[in-house]
Structure formats: structure tokens, C-alpha cells
């Protein structure tokens, strides 16, 4: 009995030191949740709640919480453990680390002067030279050591998923349908109504996705794809079309990335039913804009990372196309933008 009490005590102490800064947050409307502040960027803050990282606007929280954030942000912090810098530290051209945190997650050795290393967006550090021993999550770019991962995190088609993304992974059809249900109201609100034709979702691996994509001459690092079959009946001037849409999505994507992919593909379905045709940067830029809007409704840090990748993408189609669409949206708003897209319609 005594032994189990001391065991509990030990656990408590460990818990206390690991989650030193966990506190209760109160929103302006009185909702409370417990979490640890992990980053402050302008008026956006990151809070870790139950091991998940979320981004919120600082204005959402009480004055007392905002004071806490300001004080927290004044302290210089180590990017790995997020605690204040004190004692022995190591400085690079961009960051400063606790000396004990400045080590490689693969070989566990501390970095020495002149060695080249890489830092992921989550504070993970590794030497550059570890090759395949280091894995970088295909969804959130988090580093992890391949030999320490669960076999299921290493997908048969060569993709890899970090533990967090894998836990949120959409691996069965029922969950995939649920994600679609989640984005439907957001799509409706934008003006992208339900398709008239049939719509089916298919979870596939990278190989099948690439093979299906060739049917419409699409290639590259695809995560989703829409194939629309249509039949036109009637005479010129009085045609009626029926549609059959198939949306393909890679299996195992974390929930948030699935939101982004399904919103993008939903936009394709909307365009296809209206026979809207244009150049790839216009079409894909528009679909990414819709995807970004859906991501904007989500609070997780992963949604910010995916949005940022879109904003910074150097792809002339998905990146440049998206940025041009985003500019246009800022000028004219959603409803006029949808009208502009509809004007590109050319039914058979």
C-alpha cells in the first residue's frame, strides 16, 4: 500500500515538472480549458491542449489571460522545450537553445561548432546527414526517428506519418464521410451548393491516386483527385446533363489535412457541374482558395502549417494560382468571385 502511494507521488512530481506552464484559459464568453502556451505570433497564440497544438486569436481570451501572454512573450525561449533561456545556452544564427536541448534526436549527440542541422516547425532537431534514419511527417513536417516509429506509421506506399498525425489519421470510410459532413455547411455558406449528381468518396494509396490522375493528365504530389463523368441529353440550347463524381483521397491523412483536401475537391465538383473551364492556375488556385477557407475554420496548428505551405508554395499552378485568386478575392469578395467563375462556363 505504502509503495503504491509513493509511486503516485513520484508520478505527480514528474507530471508537475513536465507540464510546468499548464494553466486554465478563460475565453471572453466564460468557457474554460486547460492548456500550455507554446507560441505567440502577433495577435495569434498557440496553446497545447491534451497534447494537441491549437492556434487562436488572442482577443478570444480574458484580460488576465492576455496579460499572461504578454509576460510570457517577453521571455526569450528555447525552441525545443519552450522554457525560458537561462544557464548554459547555445546560439545559432537564428535561434538560441539550452545547451542540453541543442542535440540531435537521431544520434542523441549535442551539436558542435560548424555542424549542419535542421529544425522542424515543432522544435525537433537533427543532423542533416542521417538520411533515411530521420523521417519527416508527410502532413505536418514533424521529425521523428524512423526506427522508433510504430510500423503502422510507415505506410506501404512510402508515405510516413508522425505519431500525432497518425492518431488523427482518417483510415476508414466512415470517418472520411464524417469529414465531408463537417465541411458541407462551410461550403454552403460560401455559395458552393451540394452537387446535383452522385458523389462517392474513395480512400486510396499514392499509387492508385497517381494512376487515376493520369486519366486527366494530372501529376505531382497529389493528395486528392476528382473525376467527373457526365452525360448530356437533349438538343443544343436545351441540354441537360447528369453527373457522376468520384473523389479520391489518400488514406491515413490527419483529419485537418482531410478537411483541406475534401474542400479543394468539393470546389472541383462545383466547377465541373457548371462546365467551368480555365487555365490550371485559375482552376487550382480557386480550389485552393476554397480549401484555405475551410482550413480557416479549424483551430489546430496543423491547419496553420498547411495554409502557410499554400501561401509560400512555389508551384506556378497551386502556389502562384492560389495567390492570384486570393488577391482577386480581396478585391471583389466571394459572391462576385463565384459569378466570375460561372462566367467561364462553357457547356457542351
What residue ranges bind Zn ion (CB under 5 A)?
78, 80-81, 98, 101, 104, 106-107, 127, 137, 139-140, 142, 162, 165, 284, 287
User: Which residue number, 25 or 291, has a Cβ lying nearer to Zn ion?
Assistant: 291
Task: Closer to Zn ion by CB, 61 or 318: give it.
Answer: 318
Closest C-alpha to 247, from 304, 210, 279, 200: 200
Cβ of residue 139: shortest distance to Zn ion, in angstroms?
5
Would you say 81 or 152 has its CB closer to Zn ion?
A: 81
Burial of 97 (0-12, 13-18, 19+ CB in 10 A): buried
Grid cell for residue 335: 459572391
Our CB check for Zn ion shows the closer of 112 and 233 to be 112
**Minimum distance of Zn ion from residue 217's CB (angstroms):** 12
Write the CA distances from 332 to 270, 305, 315, 328, 338, integer angstroms.
20, 26, 25, 6, 10
Rounded-to-integer distance, Cα 73 and Cα 76, Å? 7
Closest CA to 128 of 116, 139, 113, 111: 116
CB of 234 to Zn ion, least distance (A): 29
CB of 341 to Zn ion, least distance (A): 14
Closest distance to Zn ion from the beta carbon of 67 (Å): 25
Look at residues 257, 261, 301 and name the one whose alpha carbon lies nearest to residue 284: 261
Residue placing its CB nearer to Zn ion in the complex, 98 or 293: 98
CB of 265 vs Zn ion, minimal distance in Å: 7
61 or 103: CB nearest Zn ion: 103
Amino acid at each position: 500500500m505504502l509503495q503504491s502511494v509513493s509511486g503516485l507521488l513520484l508520478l505527480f512530481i514528474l507530471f508537475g515538472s513536465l507540464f510546468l506552464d499548464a494553466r486554465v484559459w478563460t475565453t471572453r464568453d466564460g468557457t474554460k480549458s486547460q492548456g500550455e502556451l507554446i507560441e505567440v505570433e502577433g495577435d495569434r497564440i498557440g496553446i497545447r491542449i491534451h497534447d494537441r497544438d491549437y492556434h487562436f486569436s488572442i482577443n478570444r481570451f480574458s484580460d488576465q489571460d492576455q496579460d499572461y501572454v504578454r509576460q510570457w512573450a517577453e521571455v526569450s525561449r528555447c525552441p525545443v522545450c519552450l522554457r525560458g533561456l537561462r544557464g548554459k545556452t547555445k546560439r545559432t544564427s537564428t535561434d538560441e537553445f539550452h545547451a542540453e536541448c541543442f542535440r540531435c534526436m537521431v544520434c542523441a549527440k549535442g551539436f558542435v561548432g560548424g555542424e549542419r542541422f535542421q529544425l522542424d516547425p515543432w522544435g525537433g532537431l537533427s543532423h542533416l546527414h542521417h538520411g533515411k534514419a530521420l523521417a519527416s511527417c508527410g502532413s505536418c513536417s514533424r521529425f521523428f526517428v524512423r526506427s522508433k516509429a510504430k510500423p503502422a506509421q510507415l505506410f506501404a506506399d512510402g508515405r510516413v506519418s508522425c505519431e500525432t498525425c497518425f492518431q488523427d489519421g482518417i483510415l476508414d470510410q466512415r470517418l472520411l464521410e464524417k469529414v465531408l459532413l463537417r465541411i458541407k455547411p462551410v461550403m454552403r455558406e460560401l455559395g458552393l451548393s451540394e452537387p446535383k449528381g452522385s458523389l462517392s468518396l474513395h480512400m486510396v494509396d499514392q499509387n492508385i491516386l497517381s494512376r487515376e490522375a493520369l486519366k486527366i493528365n494530372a501529376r505531382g504530389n497529389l493528395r486528392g483527385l476528382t473525376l467527373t463523368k457526365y452525360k448530356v441529353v437533349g438538343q443544343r440550347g436545351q441540354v441537360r446533363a447528369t453527373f457522376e463524381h468520384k473523389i479520391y483521397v489518400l488514406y491515413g491523412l490527419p483529419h485537418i489535412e482531410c478537411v483541406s483536401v475534401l474542400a479543394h475537391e468539393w470546389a472541383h465538383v462545383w466547377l465541373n457541374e457548371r462546365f467551368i473551364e480555365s487555365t490550371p492556375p485559375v482552376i487550382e488556385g480557386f480550389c485552393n482558395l476554397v480549401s484555405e477557407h475551410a482550413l480557416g475554420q479549424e483551430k489546430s496548428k496543423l491547419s496553420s502549417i498547411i495554409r502557410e505551405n499554400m501561401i509560400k508554395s512555389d508551384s506556378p499552378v497551386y502556389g502562384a494560382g492560389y495567390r492570384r485568386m486570393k488577391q482577386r478575392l480581396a478585391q471583389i469578395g466571394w459572391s462576385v468571385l463565384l459569378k466570375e467563375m460561372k462566367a467561364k462556363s462553357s457547356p457542351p
